[in-house]
Amino acid sequence: MRAFVDRDACIGCEACVGICPEVFSMDDDAISVAVEGEIAEDILESAEEAMDCCPVGAITVE
């Protein structure tokens, strides 16, 4: 599974970073970015929680 952030939708609230810092971080423009590559199985649930908690639905995990 991989995580993706819609940069046009992200409002930079940092909720995803607080929930799953192993996958999400903020860039220089205060927009969330997801790590490239596969999400480790042991943090997949946390990444999905971050997706569910995004107030603007900017995150997908697939």
Per-residue pLDDT of the chain (62 residues; tens, 9 = 90+): 999 999 999 999 999 999 999 999 999 999 999 999 999 999 999 999 999 999 999 999 99
Task: Give the DSSP H or E segment for 15.
Answer: helix 15-19
Q: For residues 60 and 5, what is the distance between their CA atoms, to the nearest angstrom?
A: 7
- The whole model's pTM is what? 0.94
- Out of 1.10.10.2840, 3.30.70.20, 3.40.50.1360, 3.40.50.300, which CATH number does the structure's domain 3-61 have? 3.30.70.20
Q: For residues 23 and 40, is the Cβ–Cβ distance under 8 A?
A: no
Q: For residues 56 and 16, what is the distance between their CA atoms, to the nearest angstrom?
A: 11
